[in-house]
Structure 1
């Protein structure tokens, strides 16, 4: 502290030996008062310290606003709660009675949410922000506007020409560039804990808002871009001042750059530029995603340390950032340790990996698909939550998020896990090759897994009996929606409830990935009025009835096992015994996707009562299309008038709930 005061005293021409007292300024060095320098230098120091005090005030206001929004959000979740499925009595459900009850409790909330979806759900400026909703961009815009406005507010824009005491005849040019550069630097420091908070997997924000941690990734990324801009402007501003405006040169610049706090500032600037470069799509493609993740963790913490070394007076912003990061990492390790602290074969307790059985589905054109299944002693997760899986035989330094496709059930102290994934490149490609190699040697091959989790929020808590369900999946995205349907199949039947699955796959054989689960849904299809529409997008329709015959035979068996009367529908012109519709819509060598606009509109128009929740998982283009389609289905005015059909929610695989 003393060293920094001496350095800044020389820089600001403060005379501490003649000062009668020191004036405290939070986040800055003490000021010597009264000022005994020339009038221009004293006026400039007034501007410097006054501007810094406002910088701290504006930072405090920013955090007060963030805290206030989170507080109001938390209170709003209690005052206007989303109806929960477990609040409805078990047994045969009168959907109309439940709908009226929910209407009395939640009309205002449903109307507001429908209005928000109508205007803020679609993607915004995709060429700039990617596949991101208007709501996310609006939040970013409000934050950026605040930072922009208060980067310039409260300053006197003036130039002071002051003499250099040690060199008569030379003059320093002091401008508002100095206080302004300090202002953007302080705001960059103030944003650092928020950036760390937005990136945490063990998220405090999720606890307060109920939104899963993935919901904050967009804001984390763009807040990082803002910090890069602020840090760069701060560095450029003071470089201009010290290299050009202060005299004599080059002596002033040479003495400035070798100071310890400036060296730490240069290190911090280099690190933040590295963080930015490695996080761009080009940087990730060049170095690999896993290198980006690991380097991001390390560089971010070293950057915070360098910021601390550069300006120790603002450690009030650095300490929370480090604490949040350490807490996040510590809880992750603790979760993993608790899941795998099990009885070993010799009867002792210790770390034991889960061993998953493997099933390999070769696909040379689009990437092989692997299915993994295992049982593990643990507490059950909630539908929609996911685990990070580390493939120990491939690399213990990498883990990837996977959503279980089965229901979380405990049997004899064990919970079963089932996963499928498509091997594209990197770690998943290695695992697929490993599975193929092992299965060629033995049909009962297994691989050790290390689990971390579970993460995310339940996606079915709000499914009261009056809510209609449309599940839309593309390829392996079926894992996200299957547990929803499997859970509904085990619940009491609901009058006039509509349930439908739309699944787009490239080839007819892709149904083998989840054949067991599809059979379960077929058995329950008649009683629960579940419609299953499977669209084969890569194979052209033909008169060859093989796929239809195959489906029809399985449907007949499912209906007989369930003891249900058969109902016929058409599958490519072939009569089937249950509500299963398989259509080949592709062309020769190209994909033709189902018309989601038509399918969603027909589903919503066909509901008898209640709102609709659309569960979706698949390619980004599909999610973007669904956002626009579902936005057009919402109407706050009609919901307010009691027509809940126009309250349509989207729950997609990026875990953003609307």
Structure 2
């Protein structure tokens, strides 16, 4: 019987020329039946094909498990009470129903508090980086689940078989073959999941409600699992073909020359490059932008190489490609819809948004750029972010930024305000371009602290993305916002949103902001003045820590004592004068946005860092009632400290007994740095 291309990879095992019939096996080479080889080889082939068929069923079970978890998650979200915990049910409701609802809510909050106490802190940072124990626990469960299917359903044994026409020469066939095939199949089966975990337009986010960036950790480590499985698959068959099969090196040379093996080697090399470039060392060495672009290209070529290596498993590769292209297409569509508006000519068309630039010089730590512009669109949710592209610099790069401005629901036009620090790469190029335009637009010499001018920069947006931080906030929750540097953009919208709501006298609110220099207050001075004016709960709760105040101080001034430094906390911000308030109310240009002077804010500064281990419990212990929600953004060290502090403040047993202050939640954005 003539051999077909699909049978070539197994011709050295089976006698296709004398086959009576061919038995198809999904995802594998067709089998010759009845087996005309020696008894040992036939038993080995039975083990190989049985293990493969069972393995294909297992891949179905794996995906069914994933789908079942998502289905249960979606149902639980749908059936969850619409009212956040702590909200009382109507008085005219049945008493038994009310009591049952209160008991369930209390149990839910106690269980959540208990899990935060043990699962919120960072896991082994040396191995996993700054991720919570919850994420690592999820990874451990997934790894254990996959390990079970990697070994189950395989007949383990060894069969020594003679080589045809070579007396005294024997092949050693063992369960290493079917096991190597099994881990290879599972690696293929996990490819679509890996791509889904990396998607920005994520179906996982739609189902679970978790922001897409929550899946980045699993995406990275699932890639490591796929690499480990592929490496074991490669090593297993290399050992079989170069040592256990005879005669050598004839068998090994014939094996490696086959087209499917060439593609397999290419796929393994590409996968190795993907892993190396995705490590923290690889990203630091090549730069994040190179990593992103190289990751996309290598991943697509890798999938193509996998297709060439074993096209019978294209059932797992095609969905991965479709998910990737759908994600890319959705991003383009969202950008097009955001920017398809009325042009100055009165016609409809695509147009980039011109943004006002405010440039703050900082030669030591990286310059700061503030962008302000109005754009006709629907309001986003507080906590969400946009990806911004600056076509005057590059259309191939986009960066995530959280708007510090408050979205106004029902308004035709939304105000966008962003601040970011230029360190390197694209943000440094944008800062240089902004500084050049700001300097060109100034008609007179500006101060060394900042360059403020009516300069413009074109912006393209995609979004919004991310979590809705205010979606399940209880009316009686106490709010503690902690930010480091430009992380203020994440927490300010929370406070600005609360300032527009009715204020409860029992609700306690506080803002702790850590900055390097006193001049950094200029970044968000108007927003701070608005909070002082419109949020009575916050008038005595704004605390600014200046970590390098000594660098700004007059050398002739007396030094701050160690005791004052250790207990340093700035006084609350005083209401700005009327001319500053009217200036901040007018947001027509970058100059008017920043019309508030530092002197009008009446701040005292100390060279100190906040002791979060003391400040957070102090805030919690002074609350009248209700739980505490902590919102934070800043450097990784600060986020790690907060996770540990908040975790220790949670006590599920006390929450069950009605001690709401022992229920402390942390919502953080650790994408930003100082």
- TM-score greater than 0.5 by the shorter chain: yes
Following TM superposition, by how much is the alpha carbon of 1:333 offset from its aligned partner in structure 2, in angstroms?
0.6
The answer to whether structure 1 residue 42 and structure 2 residue 42 are counterparts is yes
Following TM superposition, by how much is the alpha carbon of 1:103 offset from its aligned partner in structure 2, in angstroms?
4.2
The answer as to whether partners of 2:183 and 2:230 remain within 8 angstroms in 1 is: yes
The answer as to whether partners of 1:522 and 1:558 remain within 8 angstroms in 2 is: no
Moved over 4 A (4+): 84-89, 99-105, 527-530, 540-545, 550-554, 558-562, 580-583
Following TM superposition, by how much is the alpha carbon of 1:340 offset from its aligned partner in structure 2, in angstroms?
1.2
Segments of 5+ residues of structure 1 without an aligned counterpart are 90-98, 563-579, 587-591
Q: In structure 2, do the counterparts of structure 1 residues 208 and 479 end up closer, same or farther at CA, with 3 Å as the change threshold?
A: same
Q: Which residue does 2:532 correspond to in 1?
A: 522
Q: In structure 2, do the counterparts of structure 1 residues 314 and 583 end up closer, same or farther at CA, with 3 Å as the change threshold?
A: farther
Matches within 5 A, 1:119-130: 119-130=118-129
Q: Which residue does 1:468 correspond to in 2?
A: 478
The answer to whether structure 1 residue 431 and structure 2 residue 451 are counterparts is no
The answer to whether structure 1 residue 32 and structure 2 residue 32 are counterparts is yes
3-state secondary structure, aligned to 2:117: helix
Following TM superposition, by how much is the alpha carbon of 1:407 offset from its aligned partner in structure 2, in angstroms?
0.5
Following TM superposition, by how much is the alpha carbon of 1:86 offset from its aligned partner in structure 2, in angstroms?
14
Deviations 1:219-275 (A, max 9, x none): 000110111111111112111211222222222222212212112111111111111
Q: In structure 2, do the counterparts of structure 1 residues 284 and 78 end up closer, same or farther at CA, with 3 Å as the change threshold?
A: same
Inter-partner Cα distance in structure 1 for 2:671 and 2:456: 30
Inter-partner Cα distance in structure 2 for 1:83 and 1:221: 36
The answer as to whether partners of 1:533 and 1:582 remain within 8 angstroms in 2 is: no
Following TM superposition, by how much is the alpha carbon of 1:68 offset from its aligned partner in structure 2, in angstroms?
1.8
Matches within 5 A, 1:162-561: 162-409=161-408, 413-442=412-441, 443-526=453-536, 531-540=541-550, 554-555=574-575, 557=577
Following TM superposition, by how much is the alpha carbon of 1:626 offset from its aligned partner in structure 2, in angstroms?
0.6
The answer as to whether partners of 2:378 and 2:410 remain within 8 angstroms in 1 is: no
Following TM superposition, by how much is the alpha carbon of 1:186 offset from its aligned partner in structure 2, in angstroms?
0.6
The answer as to whether partners of 1:197 and 1:204 remain within 8 angstroms in 2 is: yes
Matches within 5 A, 1:66-105: 66-81=66-81, 83-84=83-84, 103=102
The answer as to whether partners of 1:498 and 1:529 remain within 8 angstroms in 2 is: no
Deviations 1:549-581 (A, max 9, x none): x9889536379979xxxxxxxxxxxxxxxxx99
Deviations 1:173-227 (A, max 9, x none): 2122111111110110111111001000001110111000000000000110111
Q: Which residue does 1:52 correspond to in 2?
A: 52
Bigger drift between 613-622 and 412-421 goes to 412-421
Deviations 1:603-648 (A, max 9, x none): 1111111111100000001011111111111111111112221111
Q: In structure 2, do the counterparts of structure 1 residues 5 and 438 end up closer, same or farther at CA, with 3 Å as the change threshold?
A: closer
Q: In structure 2, do the counterparts of structure 1 residues 363 and 11 end up closer, same or farther at CA, with 3 Å as the change threshold?
A: same
Following TM superposition, by how much is the alpha carbon of 1:338 offset from its aligned partner in structure 2, in angstroms?
0.8
Q: In structure 2, do the counterparts of structure 1 residues 381 and 243 end up closer, same or farther at CA, with 3 Å as the change threshold?
A: same
The answer as to whether partners of 2:379 and 2:411 remain within 8 angstroms in 1 is: no
Inter-partner Cα distance in structure 2 for 1:299 and 1:466: 50
Q: In structure 2, do the counterparts of structure 1 residues 14 and 642 end up closer, same or farther at CA, with 3 Å as the change threshold?
A: farther
| TM-score after normalising by structure 2 | 0.87
Q: Which residue does 2:651 correspond to in 1?
A: 635
Inter-partner Cα distance in structure 1 for 2:187 and 2:376: 45
Matches within 5 A, 1:600-639: 600-639=616-655
Q: In structure 2, do the counterparts of structure 1 residues 153 and 111 end up closer, same or farther at CA, with 3 Å as the change threshold?
A: same
Q: Which residue does 1:571 correspond to in 2?
A: none
Deviations 1:444-479 (A, max 9, x none): 111111111111121101122111111010010000
Aligned-pair Cα RMSD in Å: 2.8
3-state secondary structure, aligned to 1:632: helix
Inter-partner Cα distance in structure 2 for 1:622 and 1:558: 36
Q: Which residue does 1:7 correspond to in 2?
A: 8
Following TM superposition, by how much is the alpha carbon of 1:15 offset from its aligned partner in structure 2, in angstroms?
4.2
Q: In structure 2, do the counterparts of structure 1 residues 538 and 242 end up closer, same or farther at CA, with 3 Å as the change threshold?
A: same
Following TM superposition, by how much is the alpha carbon of 1:489 offset from its aligned partner in structure 2, in angstroms?
0.8
Matches within 5 A, 1:132-147: 132-147=131-146
The answer as to whether partners of 1:523 and 1:561 remain within 8 angstroms in 2 is: no
3-state secondary structure, aligned to 1:463: coil
Q: In structure 2, do the counterparts of structure 1 residues 239 and 556 end up closer, same or farther at CA, with 3 Å as the change threshold?
A: closer
3-state secondary structure, aligned to 1:17: coil
The answer as to whether partners of 1:212 and 1:655 remain within 8 angstroms in 2 is: no
Inter-partner Cα distance in structure 1 for 2:386 and 2:124: 32
Q: Which residue does 1:567 correspond to in 2?
A: none
3-state secondary structure, aligned to 1:240: helix
Q: In structure 2, do the counterparts of structure 1 residues 314 and 160 end up closer, same or farther at CA, with 3 Å as the change threshold?
A: same
Inter-partner Cα distance in structure 2 for 1:342 and 1:118: 49
Q: Which residue does 1:94 correspond to in 2?
A: none
Inter-partner Cα distance in structure 1 for 2:602 and 2:649: 25
Inter-partner Cα distance in structure 2 for 1:457 and 1:552: 30
The answer as to whether partners of 1:523 and 1:559 remain within 8 angstroms in 2 is: no
Segments of 5+ residues of structure 2 without an aligned counterpart are 90-97, 442-452, 561-567, 583-600
Inter-partner Cα distance in structure 2 for 1:134 and 1:581: 42
Q: Which residue does 1:569 correspond to in 2?
A: none
Inter-partner Cα distance in structure 1 for 2:571 and 2:666: 30
Following TM superposition, by how much is the alpha carbon of 1:82 offset from its aligned partner in structure 2, in angstroms?
6.4
Q: In structure 2, do the counterparts of structure 1 residues 184 and 412 end up closer, same or farther at CA, with 3 Å as the change threshold?
A: closer
The answer as to whether partners of 2:340 and 2:350 remain within 8 angstroms in 1 is: yes
Asked which structure has the greater RCO (Cα within 8 Å, sep 6+), the reply is: 1
